């Protein structure tokens, strides 16, 4: 009993380390352009859309880098990869803060793309799978529970720094956070040999860089589509939710209030998973999660303003559960062997969908208004069909 309690205490410590570090990593990178993008673009003589084009380029780089990052974690563990990601984030943020030309800005975002592949959730999930194998699900849930506060922390802090100083100081501050907070936290992670619940699979054999792509089967294709469809809808709502709600006849002030419901709904869903839903198979959680956005979209389109808050809550609940499903579902279906590389391969089309979503959905919104939600609702329905076609034993 004492040994079990000690193991749980060490596992909780790992979750806290990764959860806190992930909160700051997301806040200082993925959520940065939403607040600072306009100022960056204006000072360097760019359109705001140009800045977001660079961010999309970073996501494409992340897609290309993901499989290799996963293989590095499979081979060496997550600690050195995460340590390197903190250093890279800090370097790129310093480069952003000192950029005086478009090429410097582009170089910074290209480097940031590599960091997005090696320093966000996929890397953290692969790290705990490497440490705990099939018992990593609770750790994945705990990390996403804490990481759900990234925008809650990141947006106000970035906005305050920009308002009281400027966007360059904001970037330098976040660089310091990565170097002085995230880096020490990652350095304090245990070595694999010190964790008792190591995966039985051991290290994967040495294989070529394209090995992960050569082992794609029907289940991988279905999961890749599922992750791509949900990533598209999530990114589209992150970029255009206020505009969608206003197109549905909701005031700008009310749209902001509805948007504020999404963060708590995400965290609440993850807390529910941690406390009550941990005995449900991840594939069942995934089916529930992917149905939330289409149901909310239909209600909003059918009834308009009275159910706007319901749409925001349902979207938030689904989004919150989908994030942890992204880590737990491949583990349940394929096991821990080669988990990191498999995640990298699965996320390639998802990151590409994520990169294209703001632009493509923006065009649909301009053409169709609120009816553009039919597109994301249809993708959600198709993703649910893909899950239903997966092996029932998964």
Instruction: State residue 393's pLDDT score.
Output: 44
Phi-psi region of 191 (alpha: psi -120 to 50; beta: other; left: phi over 0): beta
Instruction: State residue 194's pLDDT score.
Output: 53
* Spatial separation of the C-alpha atoms in residues 225 and 242, rounded to whole Å: 27
Instruction: State residue 238's pLDDT score.
Output: 78
Instruction: State residue 278's pLDDT score.
Output: 65
User: Which residues does 197 contact at the CB level (< 8 Å), separation at least 6?
Assistant: 7, 11, 131, 132, 133, 135
For residue 236, give the nearest of 347, 322, 361 by alpha carbon: 361
Length of the chain: 394
Instruction: State residue 277's pLDDT score.
Output: 63
In order along its 394 residues, the chain shows pLDDT tens digits of: 455 677 788 888 999 999 999 999 998 998 888 778 888 888 988 887 788 788 889 989 998 888 889 889 888 889 999 999 999 999 999 999 999 999 999 999 999 999 999 999 989 998 998 888 888 888 888 898 888 778 778 878 888 999 899 999 999 999 999 999 999 999 999 876 555 444 444 444 444 444 445 556 788 889 999 999 999 998 888 777 888 888 888 887 888 788 778 878 888 888 887 777 667 788 888 999 999 999 999 999 999 888 999 999 999 999 888 888 888 888 888 888 888 888 888 888 998 998 888 888 888 888 898 999 999 999 999 999 999 987 654 4
The predicted model scores a pTM of 0.81
Residues 344, 122: contact at Cβ < 8 Å?
yes
For residue 137, give the nearest of 348, 22, 285 by alpha carbon: 285
Instruction: State residue 336's pLDDT score.
Output: 81
Instruction: State residue 196's pLDDT score.
Output: 44
Instruction: State residue 173's pLDDT score.
Output: 97
Question: All domains of the chain, ordered by start, with CATH?
Answer: 2-194 (1.20.1250.20), 217-388 (1.20.1250.20)
Instruction: State residue 202's pLDDT score.
Output: 47
Instruction: State residue 394's pLDDT score.
Output: 46
In this structure, how many other beta carbons lie within 10 angstroms of the beta carbon of residue 196?
12
């Amino acid at each position: 009993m004492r040994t079990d309690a000690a193991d749980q205490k060490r596992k909780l410590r790992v979750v806290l380390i990764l959860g806190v570090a992930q909160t700051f990593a997301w806040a200082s990178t993925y959520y940065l352009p939403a607040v600072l993008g306009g100022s960056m673009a204006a000072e360097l003589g760019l359109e705001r859309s140009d800045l977001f084009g660079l961010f999309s380029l970073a996501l494409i780089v992340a897609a290309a880098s993901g499989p290799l990052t996963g293989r590095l974690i499979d081979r060496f563990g997550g600690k050195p990869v995460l340590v390197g990601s903190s250093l890279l984030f800090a370097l790129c943020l310093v480069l952003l803060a000192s950029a005086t030309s478009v090429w410097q800005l582009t170089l910074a975002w290209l480097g940031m793309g590599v960091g997005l592949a090696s320093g966000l959730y996929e890397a953290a999930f692969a790290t705990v799978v490497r440490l705990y194998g099939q018992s990593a699900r609770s750790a994945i849930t705990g990390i996403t529970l804490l990481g759900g506060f990234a925008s809650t922390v990141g947006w106000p802090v970035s906005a305050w720094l920009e308002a009281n100083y400027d966007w360059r100081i904001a970037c330098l501050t976040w660089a310091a956070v990565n170097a002085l907070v995230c880096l020490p936290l990652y350095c304090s992670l245990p070595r694999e040999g010190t964790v008792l619940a190591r995966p039985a699979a051991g290290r994967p054999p040495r294989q070529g860089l394209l090995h992960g792509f050569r082992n794609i089967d029907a289940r991988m294709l279905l999961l890749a589509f599922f992750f791509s469809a949900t990533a598209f809808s999530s990114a589209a709502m992150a970029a255009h939710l206020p505009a969608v709600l206003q197109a549905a006849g909701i005031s700008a002030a009310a749209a902001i209030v509805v948007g504020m419901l999404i963060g708590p709904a995400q965290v609440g869903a993850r807390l529910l998973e941690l406390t009550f839903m941990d005995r449900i198979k991840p594939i069942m959680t995934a089916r529930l999660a992917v149905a939330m956005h289409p149901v909310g979209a239909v209600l909003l389109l059918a009834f308009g303003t009275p159910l706007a808050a319901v749409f925001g809550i349902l979207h938030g609940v689904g989004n919150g559960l989908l994030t942890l499903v992204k880590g737990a579902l491949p583990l349940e279906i394929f096991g821990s062997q080669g988990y990191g590389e498999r995640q990298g391969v699965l996320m390639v089309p998802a990151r590409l969908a994520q990169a294209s979503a703001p632009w493509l959905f923006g065009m649909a919104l301009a053409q169709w208004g609120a009816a553009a939600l039919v597109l994301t609702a249809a993708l959600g329905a198709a993703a649910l069909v893909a899950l239903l076609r997966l092996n029932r034993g998964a």
